[in-house]
Structure 1
């Protein structure tokens, strides 16, 4: 099963992390990544650029409204993610507990990633996506 570990932090926690020595942070996160790689569970891991550089597309109006970041009333920012291939949600939780970015204001959300096999296989759009994935080596 695949699970996404989503790193989230409050504005205050992100500001506090900005004072951390970058080389130290790279080493700390690098060691965690190495553990995931050696365990054979890491599929992908990426950080995200500053929220001030992003935009929000709000679909509650027609046409959708685009707003530049930072986002209004942000309680927690989505700062990065990992995608792991593990046997269970419990295993994903254990990896999340070992995350190197910790302290007040930091959280890891864990969500199972659904697969194309979980959708009706006789559906035209599922069949098209499956064909695309096969052609691109994703199945």
Structure 2
């Protein structure tokens, strides 16, 4: 199963406080372990929400809202995309992860939808389109 592992933002990460050299080295080592194990598909840190925007949808209208966003506990500071056998395996990897911040922090694990999760609504034509798009993305890498 694929899962997204979400590193929740903190006041410090939202303020632009950069990780220490020690933490960067520890995360680098952890990422190497993930890659060697064939778990890590992607992973990145994100800039503070002050540098981002949200696009709000209401019917056919769109409204752009500039950051920063107030609810730090709902913001994301970084993510990984992992391929694991089970949620238990993902949890085991997160338990080995260095604490992403100096103080308290939180990491959320969410399964990624797979084609079979969508049922009959995901027609053979839509599946073919999805596969074609994934192949195009892979070819660019």
| Structure 1 residue ranges without an equivalent (≥5) | none
Instruction: Please identify runs of 4+ aligned residues in structure 1 that moved more than 6 A.
Output: none
Q: Deviations over 1:98-138 (max 9, x none)?
A: 22115644111101112224333535333322233345558
Root mean square deviation of aligned Cα: 2.6
Please state which structure has a larger fraction of its residues in helix.
2
Q: For each residue in 1:23-70, what CA deviation from the matched residue of structure 2 results, as whole angstroms up to 9, or x when unmatched?
A: 223212101111112222111111111211100111137522111110
Question: Counterparts in 2 of 1:62-101, with a 5 A limit?
Answer: 63-100=61-98, 101=100
Distance 1:136 1:70 in 2: 31
Q: Do the aligned residues in 1 keep the contact of 2:53 with 2:66 (CA within 8 Å)?
A: yes
Q: Which runs of 5+ in 2 are unaligned?
A: none
Correspondence 1:98-137 to 2 at 5 A: 98-100=96-98, 101-102=100-101, 104-119=103-118, 120=120, 122-134=123-135, 136-137=137-138
Taking structure 1 as the reference length, the TM-score comes to 0.80
CA distance in 1 between counterparts of 2:117 and 2:129 reads 15
Q: Distance in 1 between matches of 2:2 and 2:32?
A: 18
- In the alignment of these two chains, the number of paired residues is 136
d(CA) in 2 for partners of 1:79, 1:106: 11
